[in-house]
Chains A and B, each alone.
Chain A
């Protein structure tokens, strides 16, 4: 027991000593702080370092794994963040809930660099509260080795030949939205009969599904656990780079488009610095460096000519304008969300 005790005391003192050192070194000087709350790995490390030096600011970068996690935390009263990155529909919801600050456009002269498609997104029509940071479309990724015929329609996921090999996003809105689009409805319908019909259809695909997964869909496609499934375009680019047999297609019925944005939560302590950061990221040269490092689609039109040939020729990053035209945004469905959730739960418990 003595040994155990001394071991613990030793560990405790070591930890305290290290923290003490850590604290004293960080409190040397009064420096401005920018607290970012975002998805993991969403910025190039060097871009952040450059910004810190240029504006003499310390950037704290905390991460969340889903929009709803972030919303729950902000809604329950977590303050202290200056910049957040909600996705499209979440921007709409947060505006409705009064959780976002209006952007001061005078501080963001580079805002005009954004491609016109994203100047009037339906969730925030005048870019009053948010600016698109990156975006993509949920389409079908498939492995040529197992899927011989190029898929053209969502219906191909229902093909019995792929039993136990179909993967789907673990997200009720995305998957129900897909079934709705397949049946010719809006992906954000609030009509019960449309939901019912699409849900009945969706139930039939369940025996084909190997797993519902949002976080590890890439691993499952690369390791060929899944042959075909609903995948975001950016993820598809990543998968293709690791496993060239995997291709990506946007079905003829249309698909769901999504975007992650930059926005400032209500009560942010350092709003001006957040706006400076947004402006910095929208600088064409900075954005080229940033997006080629993180591998997502750049919405900065001024930056397009500066991008490398490799980045520009990637069809999963530089999506076709015709495809964008066919894609539909998810919007907040209000009270109907309960119905979506009920159907989702029923589908999962249904065996």
Chain B
């Protein structure tokens, strides 16, 4: 009975994974399509992969996106985690006010935020480019990090932290050796969310980007008018395949590692 339910659950989860990867499968397929636009299947070709590497613009855009994504999500995760830790110690009233403020950037329409930030940057005479992009990306992704980590902290309770303090640990030691490890899954989830948001943001980036700081979404949205080129599909395919490979390889190494360790023991 129990296994039947377990099977149903894992079946459902695999089904969800199929749902998530169904469009990905299609775009991988269409990266080998001979037609210039994704209208109909006209034949098999490698040519988009070849032309992808000759396309200076798209490679530059990819580089920009990855740089901005990694830097901004690291900053957002650090700031968001720190804030969530602090707010936990605030009185109910102050933590409510703080949380309310943090929800605002999530509820505001993106286009509004993008425009307002552009006006701000141009008032401050800042040159538009990667720096303004990173500033903006941290601003819209930090609240997401904070919300996730706050949730984790709220569920955690105070027992372990108090125990640690009772045993004579300083607040920083407690933070470092008790709290942080406990909320690590939350931090990882927050980082993943921030990175994903940054990588896929178009509207806010559109406004705060300057000459020569085109990100991948900006490049792709620019293409829609003439039809998104299969080069983009080819690029997406390479991204997916390389990330999945990376994950699998890392897992294989880890398994080997843990086996070796066991044999030594």
Chain B interface mostly helix, strand, loop or mixed?
Answer: helix
In the complex where A22-B63, A242-B35 touch, is A223 in contact with B40 (Cβ < 8 A)? yes
Give min CB distance, A322 to chain B, whole Å. 29
B225 surroundings in chain A (CB, below 8 A):
39-40, 65, 214-215
Q: Report how many residues on chain A are interfacial, defined by Cβ distance under 8 Å.
A: 42
Contact in complex: A39, B222 (CB < 8 Å): yes
A65-80 vs B, Cβ < 8 Å mask (1 yes, 0 no): 1000100110011111
Give min CB distance, B87 to chain A, whole Å. 23
- Alpha-carbon separation in the docked complex, A215 to B226 (Å): 7
Within 8 A of A (CB), among B172-215: 181, 184, 188, 191, 206-207, 209-212, 214
Q: Which residue of A18, A22, A216 contacts B227 across the interface (Cβ within 8 Å)?
A: A216
In the complex where A39-B222, A62-B211, A73-B207 touch, is A12 in contact with B227 (Cβ < 8 A)? no
- Please tell me if A132 contacts chain B, counting CB pairs below 8 Å: no
Some 15 contacts from A to B, beta carbons below 8 A apart, are: A11-B70, A18-B67, A19-B63, A39-B222, A60-B212, A62-B214, A63-B214, A65-B221, A76-B119, A77-B121, A214-B225, A222-B37, A242-B36, A242-B37, A243-B39
- Please tell me if A41 contacts chain B, counting CB pairs below 8 Å: yes
- Please tell me if A15 contacts chain B, counting CB pairs below 8 Å: yes
Q: Of all chain A residues, which has the CB nearest B37? A: A219
- Alpha-carbon separation in the docked complex, A336 to B191 (Å): 47
In the complex where A1-B188, A39-B225, A64-B222 touch, is A80 in contact with B127 (Cβ < 8 A)? yes
Q: Of all chain A residues, which has the CB nearest B39? A: A222
Contact in complex: A78, B39 (CB < 8 Å): no
A15 surroundings in chain B (CB, below 8 A):
66-67, 70-71
- Alpha-carbon separation in the docked complex, A240 to B236 (Å): 29
7 closest A-B pairs (Cβ-Cβ)? A77-B122, A63-B222, A222-B39, A40-B222, A35-B211, A215-B224, A76-B118
- Please tell me if B74 contacts chain A, counting CB pairs below 8 Å: yes
- Please tell me if B49 contacts chain A, counting CB pairs below 8 Å: no
B122 surroundings in chain A (CB, below 8 A):
76-79
- Please tell me if A7 contacts chain B, counting CB pairs below 8 Å: yes
Query: Could you list which residues of chain A lie within 8 angstroms of chain B, going by C-beta atoms?
Result: 1, 3-4, 7-8, 11-12, 15-16, 18-19, 22, 33, 35, 37, 39-41, 60-65, 69, 72-73, 76-81, 214-216, 218-219, 222-223, 242-243
Give min CB distance, B34 to chain A, whole Å. 11
- Alpha-carbon separation in the docked complex, A270 to B157 (Å): 61
Within 8 A of A (CB), among B34-53: 35-40
Contact in complex: B70, A35 (CB < 8 Å): no
Q: Of all chain A residues, which has the CB nearest B128? A: A78
- Alpha-carbon separation in the docked complex, A1 to B181 (Å): 9
Give min CB distance, B161 to chain A, whole Å. 19
Within 8 A of A (CB), among B61-83: 63, 66-67, 70-71, 74
Within 8 A of A (CB), among B216-265: 218-219, 221-227, 246, 250, 254
- Sample of 4 more A-B contacts, CB < 8 Å, known A12-B70, A12-B74, A40-B219: A15-B70, A16-B67, A73-B207, A81-B211
Chain A interface mostly helix, strand, loop or mixed?
Answer: mixed
- Alpha-carbon separation in the docked complex, A64 to B214 (Å): 11
- Please tell me if B102 contacts chain A, counting CB pairs below 8 Å: no
- Please tell me if B91 contacts chain A, counting CB pairs below 8 Å: no
Contact in complex: A65, B184 (CB < 8 Å): no
Best-buried of A3, A78, A214, A243 by chain B (most CB within 10 Å): A78
A64 surroundings in chain B (CB, below 8 A):
206, 222
Contact in complex: A219, B211 (CB < 8 Å): no
In the complex where A7-B250, A19-B67, A218-B227 touch, is A60 in contact with B119 (Cβ < 8 A)? no
Q: Of all chain A residues, which has the CB nearest B74? A: A12
Give min CB distance, B85 to chain A, whole Å. 18
- Please tell me if B3 contacts chain A, counting CB pairs below 8 Å: no
Give min CB distance, B3 to chain A, whole Å. 30
Contact in complex: A40, B35 (CB < 8 Å): no
Give min CB distance, B261 to chain A, whole Å. 13
Give min CB distance, B82 to chain A, whole Å. 17
Give min CB distance, B23 to chain A, whole Å. 15
In the complex where A69-B206, A218-B37 touch, is A41 in contact with B223 (Cβ < 8 A)? yes
- Please tell me if B99 contacts chain A, counting CB pairs below 8 Å: no
